[in-house]
Amino acid sequence: MNSVPTLNIAALAELELRQRKKARLKKEEERRKFYSEHPLIYFRDRLGIKPETINWALLPEYKDHKWDGTPNPLMKILDALVNWNWAGVESATGTGKTFIGALIVMWFLESFENALVVTTAPKEPQLKLHIWKEIGKLYGVFSKGELTTLKLRMRPYRDDWIAVGFVAGVKADEDSATKAQGFHAEHMLIILEETPGVPEPIITAFQNTCTAPHNLILAFGNPDHQFDTLHKFCQKDEVTHIRISAYDHPNVVLDNPNFIPGATSRIGIQRILSNFGVDTPLALSRTRGISPESLPMR
């Protein structure tokens, strides 16, 4: 006589569990969608980043600031990616391009289910010591998925939702270009680090593999000259071109070298000018992110 009520209770419990799971998944989907459109809020909420270190215009000292490079350049990068546009960034040294790259890896990976992020640089040590070193630092706060050498899986032991490091050096051969062209996903972001050192066949392969609407490329580095791969990428019609000048950095504008520790400073700019001279090709590149007309003398 008690079997029917027992079955009903079990069925109701199962129904409630399914409803809770559905509500949780819907909430997670809504959260991802919101963060996908608001990366700065994602950086603050999920990674503990102070918004004014990315959105420099939030600082009162920028009210009357005359921008030397692209106004509010880090936000310009985020705006391009949010609007599904490619971005090319020519930057002075020490402006935070590697750090913003690592933040973007985490944002894109968590905001889009089954996303693929590929970071590349000319040499493996560059990947390990630059963007993946920053990813390792952020992972302690991110605390999601599984981090191994040059790989961050959102699902442990599976490669269907992942960020990976890919070496593309100056001696990259046809096999490397073929591998570069083999990455595919509905939501895919290619990040080219130290782009002037990435061979043109590799960049072309990455461009060719971006066949879906939400396949994006972010390329950045210190420009060498107007014929390097970074500058040529920045000049493409479909690319949002951004230039980051050290003179626009908060450490310089606020005259506070510790506002963002380890970044560029007035002292750092002066050292470059003293070593290479004002308005020399290398000084223009390393202090203002301007791509020289000719190869800088090192």
CATH of the domain at 76: 3.40.50.300
Q: Is residue 17 part of a domain?
A: no
* Residue 47: per-residue pLDDT: 96
Q: Is residue 127 part of a domain?
A: yes
The burial of 264, by beta-carbon neighbours within 10 Å (0-12 exposed, 13-18 middle, 19 or more buried), is given as: buried
What domain range is 213 assigned to?
30-288
Q: Is residue 24 part of a domain?
A: no
Q: Is residue 112 part of a domain?
A: yes
Mean pLDDT (the chain) is: 91
Number of compact structural domains in the chain = 1
Q: Is residue 7 part of a domain?
A: no
Cα separation, 189 vs 105, whole angstroms: 8
In this predicted structure, the answer to whether residue 102 has a pLDDT above a threshold of 90 is yes
In tens, the pLDDT along 119-129 reads: 999 999 999 99
pTM score of the predicted model: 0.90
In this predicted structure, the answer to whether residue 5 has a pLDDT above a threshold of 90 is no
3-state secondary structure of 239: strand
Instruction: Kindly state the average pLDDT of the residues 172-188.
Output: 83
Q: Is residue 295 part of a domain?
A: no
Q: Is residue 54 part of a domain?
A: yes
Q: In what order do the strands lie in the sheet with 151-153?
A: 146-148, 151-153, 162-167, 116-121, 188-192, 215-221, 86-91, 239-244
**How does residue 32 score in pLDDT terms, banded at 50, 70 and 90?**
very high
**How does residue 298 score in pLDDT terms, banded at 50, 70 and 90?**
very low
Query: For the ranges 127-136, 158-167, 287-296, which has the lowest average pLDDT?
Result: 287-296
Cα separation, 35 vs 32, whole angstroms: 5
Instruction: Kindly state the average pLDDT of the residues 137-158.
Output: 93
CA dihedral 129, 280, 270, 61 (to 10 degrees): -90
Q: CB of 115 within 8 A of CB of 189?
A: yes
Joined together, the tokens standing for residue 235 give 């000049």
In this predicted structure, the answer to whether residue 297 has a pLDDT above a threshold of 60 is no
With b meaning 16 or more CB within 10 Å and e meaning fewer, what string describes 150-181? bebbbeeeeeebbbbbbbbbeebeeebbeebb
Q: CB of 167 within 8 A of CB of 207?
A: no
Q: Is residue 114 part of a domain?
A: yes
End-to-end alpha carbon distance in the chain: 91
With b meaning 16 or more CB within 10 Å and e meaning fewer, what string describes 205-219? bbbebbeeeebbbbb
In this predicted structure, the answer to whether residue 290 has a pLDDT above a threshold of 50 is yes
